[in-house]
Amino acid sequence: MKSLRKSNVTATIIKNMAPHKEREDMDKLTYASATALAQSIRAKEISSEEVVDAYLQRIEEANPQLNAVVQLTADAARAQAREADAALAKGHIRGPLHGVPMTIKDNIETTGVICTGGTKGRASYVPKQDATVVARMHDAGAIMLGKTNLPELGLTFETDNLVYGRTNNPYDLSCTPGGSSGGEAAIIAAGGSPLGLGNDMGGSIRLPAHFCGIAGIKPTTGRVPRTGHFPWPGNWLDMLWQPGPMARFVEDLVLVLPIIVGVDWRDPSVVPMPFGDPRMVNLKSLRVAFHIDNGIMSPSREIVEVVKKTAKVLSEADMAVEEDLPSGIEQSYEIFFGLLAADGGAGMETLLHMVGTTEMHPWTNGLLEVCRATAMTTADFTRLMLKWAMFRSSMLSFMRKYDVIICPVCAYAAPPHGGTLAADRIPAFSYTMTYNLTGWPSVVVRGGTSPEGLPIGVQVVARPWREDIALAVAQNIETILGGWQRPPL
């Protein structure tokens, strides 16, 4: 299994597979990295059709227990795989993902395939155009297997809605995979997809990556177009969220991110910044700060141990590592939820009305009640925006001394279903909210395991526009600490 992570040995392993795919042979495909699969398809050591069939079979096995894939596009995927193989036979390679399967979160629009955003008003909505990120993945040769589940409007840290129901964690079906990209994280971890696309406003890529033991990145604000996402971009919350890739292995984030970045001439927030190559980063030159407690909610003992272990291995890799906490970071939770609730839920209610949703999930109702109770006056909102600006300035000043921050993703590992919803538990997610507020790139990679056998991720944060550094450090952590581990499902 592990050998497939290294693309230089993948060719030999895949070449020697029996034509009738025993269980072990199928596992070698479905637990390989997307990078390895792409190389083997291009080398004609295995066909795209064989790869797609293996993943569809794995979805058929695992999804009844997970409820992660909510729209399966099996016929279209097989047809596209045959087309990819035929093109390759003629010497045509569409792009770096030629013939590689993927999944897409169900709030990212896909031509001809239902995109609900988890809300009943869009239960039968079929987009006529791909989101920019989906179009770019298709142009690079990727093949969609299906759409994955999320909470209504992507607004909670668990994955459940009135259209498709609840998604389960592949490491423990009684636990949540997180949200809002919980369906993506669950099916990727379980071997039903090598990679996928999610989005992150308060931790929606990184938290499910942590709960499900995979890798994911929230890029710098303004790096990736949000055209074709639902809810649509707009208002002051624009600065909080970004689309990004999710996969079992960091090398696949490195492969996918350059494909989806850059101006699309539709999303005005995108900045045409150069994108660095993680392979060119000199790890020994990096200055690393780590912290284990942000002063909002203390993490569990095992979370603390994993962050400390990560700091230790980076120090042993000759990086300059010291424990340091940014001044003012304890404001993260107050500022984030102030921004979310500032309009008293008016924006959320307008959105639900626009799409025709009249019956909401209880969690959506609960969030609206909180927002209505905390609506701000114009003066209060002005003060909040000033506070946010000062927070961002203070955090940036801290980063002058460092290239990287290592910290928890959440205060605990994946809880039982419903375990994220109590008011006294929600501050646990402030560790990701911080870096939505700053807009900096942040990668999550598995660093350890809880006593219950649940994954524990670590968060790797870099300066703005330095995804290359965050990815390089995350890949180093993955190599030393093991990264993704196969679930028992």
User: How long a stretch of residues is the chain?
Assistant: 489
**How does strand 242-247 pair with strand 320-323?**
unpaired
Pairing of strands 69-72, 455-462: unpaired
The whole-angstrom separation of Cα 27 and Cα 1 is 8
Residue 199 φ then ψ, to 5°: -150, 160
Closest CA to 455 of 417, 393, 409, 391: 409
Q: How far is CA 407 from CA 91, 110, 158, 260, 457, in A?
A: 46, 35, 22, 27, 10
> Please, are residues 439 and 391 in contact by the beta-carbon 8 Å criterion?
no
**How far, in Å, CA of 46 to CA of 361, rounded?**
44
Tokens of 459: 């968060």
Residues designated as active site: 105, 180, 204
Rounded Cα gap, residues 463 and 376, in angstroms: 32
Contacts of 111 (CB under 8 A, 6+ apart): 127, 128, 129, 130
Write the DSSP symbol of residue 233: P
- Cα 317 to its chain centre, rounded Å, is 27
Bridge partners (DSSP) of residue 72 are 146
